[in-house]
A and B are shown apart, each in its own frame.
Chain A
Amino acid sequence: MFAYIVRRLIYAIPILVGVNLLTFTLFFVVNSPDDMAASQLGDKYVTPEAIENWKQKNGYDKPLFLNPDAAGVAQLTDTIFFDKSVRLFAFDFGRSESGRDITTDVATRMWPSLAVALPTFLVGIGVNICVALMVVMFRGTRLDRGAVFVFVALMSISYLFYIIGGQFLVAKTWRLVPISGFHTEGQVWKFLILPVLVGVVAGIGAGARWYRTLFLEEANQDYVRTARAKGCSELSILFRHILPNALIPILTGVVVLIPSLFMGSLLIESFFGIPGLGSYMLDAINSQDFAIVRSMVFIGSILYIIGLLLTDISYTWADPRVRLS
């Protein structure tokens, strides 16, 4: 098991290198530092001196890959590639274009993201499974077909409308919770309850439909017929037989998302004014702060790869027949 994890971690290295190279090409080769400086300083009346100054201030005044002016190892290390890309591997994200330290920003903004994303994730799974089980109980009837239609209709509504509708109804019309904002002390839940609610409701359509197909696949198996033949009640078939067996496909779909919860949700956070990583990314995109975008791409890929690894491990835990080797 341990050897397997180590091997998977080693496999992850080329992928991270690939991510790194890709972002480097996107940010420095497709768009040269000169272009970046020009767009950061404004489109018009940019003097070459101003560009040089900006590049020097932000550390973009070096050659891309190889520095012929330096001596020894510094030929490789005193370059943009080493400064901006290789350092990411040591989790050294450097400073944003506006001069803030990215590592501290990420460390403080991670927790509000998690405070919204984790409850949404857990409550969402619970609600979706319950709804799906209820629908599966009535499989083959009009109720089932009607429910599937409702799921598809719910899926067809844009996420933006869920957020806007939730804010309008719950916060503005009924005045139950504040429309947006966040507090670290005191009644945090007041600010969390609406984003979590919106996130859960928005996910019901796609989620419950997916779980329904999983449960239906299990419900057609022989062991279900056997259980029914030996006199099990429909409820005990659902919860004692179908649910545990459907856990394996559920796990694969779900576990891979867990590490990404740290990244938060772009839309929810920006609409509800939560100072998490999602709104951090959005602000970076809007202010064209490429240093932050670069770092977030790297963090996101690491979390995704960890998710894949966790998926494999959870397989063995849920299904003893699977052995990792």
Chain B
Amino acid sequence: MKPVILWSDALIFLLVISLALFFWRLRNDPQTRERWAEVFSSRLGMVAFTVIAAYIMVALLDSLHFRRALENPESLATEEVFYDNKVTSVFDVLTGGMGERFERTYSAPFALLSFEKENIKDADGHDIRDFPPLRHAGQHLSHPDERAGDILGKSVRALLWGLLLCALVITPQWLLLRGSRFPWLASWTTQAVILCSAVWMVSLSRHYHILGTDQGGADVLFQSLKGIRTGVLLGTLATLVMLPIAVTLGVMAGYFKGWVDDVVQYLYTTLSSIPGILLIAASVLLFQVYIDLNPDFFAVGMEKADAKFIALCFILGVTSWSTLCRLIRAETLKISQLGYVQAAHAFGVSHTRILGRHVLPNVVHIILITFVLDFSALVLAEAVLSYIGVGVDPSMGSWGNMINGARSELSREPTIWWTLTGAFFFMFVLVLAANLFSDLVRDAFDPRTSLRRASA
């Protein structure tokens, strides 16, 4: 086994670590603590956060990549170890090889037979045209009629295991947080639902395709789960790229005013006057041309897909900083008029020190609100970009690619609805949780809304 660290893996772990450090440093600030307490004191906030955390967990597990060692054939008498060209992630292993059971083509959820007729031989050796049995579904059944009872039995057993796992995960939390003022019960319920369904999915997918298979015969449920990493990474990394540009320029424009302000304003007006989707599409296409002309850069196919993905994050970040920059500039303009900044000036404090100690901490709430708000917008944008053909690489599973591949299949008879359903469900849950959470964060951190509530 040989670990593989893709660029996006490194970046996402870096992001998670720096966010953890950021919150660790903030823990002593009473004001911030109070605001976060407000977010988490609602049951909705707890549920939304738990769901988002589960998605992030999946994304992180799916970001630990390695290449399996291949067993040397007997004839080859060498100590050298060869590695599989396919990159596997820890998440692939945890799902029990859900993604390694391919069929020939479409099959319906829980189906035993393929979706399309093929030429097969019947028991007497005659050629007939019928639906062939699937390779990896219901092999253990002696008769197709046993299917319903078998699914029910396996589900009950999976549920019991799931409850056992819940007990293991939730009991320590309960012991630790019994007297807490936060509605932990909501979070535990959500955790229980997620854990039980995870156990159910993994155990049933060993015998059936829960959400069927797609045109290439790949398991739809597994693809939907793989889409989680792409969605979460895109939503966070693109904002991460945008933040330094927007914050630096916005704070400088608002603080120094004069020609700096003019230049920054000119930059973001110009950028925002270009239709966003065209700018993104053009940049992605240009990068595509560059990759096509220099194919020798990447060792594994996955690295090329990953480079395209990182480039997409960068492009999305670089093209979308203008809104945040405008907000930060306006806030900095206001702050730099306030008495304590003037006083700092009078004491001869240097510009960098004023910016770092007096201005930046007071625009953090804007950054935070934008970070959460943009997350869901970016996840949604990924699907649209993939449809246009400038999204993530087709070899990298994503919800946009799934929708793109399946949208014409609704017109078939009988309808192939499962691919779209899978992508829809996992995307909808993530975006809904992120939207609800961002609403709560905004309510808690936006001084305007908190003022209004105080006066009401």
Contact = CB atoms under 8 A, between A and B. Distances in A.
The answer to whether A binds B is yes
Interface string B266-304: 110111111101110111011001101100000000000
B283 A26 contact: yes
Contact of A158 (B285, B384, B439): B384
Nearest to A296: B278
A217 B89 CA distance: 50
Given A160-B383, A282-B388, A266 B277 contact: yes
A300 B277 CA distance: 11
A167 B431 CA distance: 23
Interface stretch (B97-105, B324-332, B341-349, B420-428): B420-428
A268 B344 CA distance: 55
Q: Chain A contact residues: over half helix, strand or loop, or mixed?
A: helix
Given A152-B435, A158-B380, A22 B390 contact: no
A305 B293 contact: no
A104 interface: no
A77 interface: no
A267 B273 contact: no
A15 B436 CA distance: 37
Contact of A156 (B289, B411, B428, B452): B428
A266 B390 CA distance: 13
A211 to B, nearest CB: 16
A160 B403 contact: yes
A156 B266 contact: no
Nearest to A278: B277
Given A35-B290, A152-B436, A15 B281 contact: no
Interface stretch (A94-102, A107-115, A192-200, A286-294): A286-294
B5 interface: no
A297 B435 contact: no
Majority-rule SS of B interface residues: helix
Interface stretch (A36-44, A62-70, A230-238): A36-44
B270 A297 contact: no
Contact of B286 (A31, A160, A282): A31
Nearest to B407: A164
Nearest to B428: A156
B292 A15 contact: no
A270 to B, nearest CB: 8
Contacts, number: 121
Interface in A254-306: 260, 263, 266-267, 281-282, 285-286, 288, 290, 293, 296-297, 300-301, 304-305
Given A282-B388, A286-B389, A19 B270 contact: yes
Given A300-B274, A301-B273, A285 B388 contact: yes
Contact of A297 (B278, B286, B292, B456): B278
B275 A304 contact: yes
Interface string A162-196: 00100110001000000100000000000000000
Given A152-B439, A172-B410, A288 B270 contact: no
B63 interface: no
B278 A293 contact: yes
B185 interface: no
Given A156-B376, A156-B431, A164-B420, A35 B266 contact: no
Interface residues of A, number: 47
A159 B384 contact: yes
Given A31-B290, A297-B282, A172 B411 contact: yes
A36 B432 CA distance: 41
A18 B266 contact: yes
Interface of A: 14-15, 18-19, 22-23, 26-27, 30-31, 35-36, 38-39, 43, 152-153, 155-161, 164, 167-168, 172, 179, 220, 260, 263, 266-267, 281-282, 285-286, 288, 290, 293, 296-297, 300-301, 304-305
Closest 8 CB pairs of A and B: A300-B275, A18-B270, A156-B431, A156-B432, A301-B273, A304-B273, A39-B289, A285-B281
Given A27-B282, A296-B278, 16 more contacts: A15-B273, A22-B274, A23-B282, A35-B293, A36-B289, A153-B432, A155-B435, A156-B432, A158-B403, A161-B424, A220-B452, A260-B275, A266-B388, A286-B389, A297-B282, A305-B273
Interface of B: 266-267, 269-275, 277-279, 281-283, 285-286, 289-290, 292-293, 376, 380, 383-384, 387-390, 403, 407, 410-411, 415, 420, 424, 427-428, 431-432, 435-436, 439, 452, 456
25 contacts: A18-B270, A19-B270, A23-B282, A27-B282, A36-B289, A39-B289, A43-B292, A157-B431, A158-B380, A158-B403, A158-B424, A164-B403, A220-B452, A266-B388, A267-B384, A282-B388, A286-B388, A290-B285, A293-B278, A293-B281, A293-B282, A296-B278, A300-B275, A300-B278, A304-B275
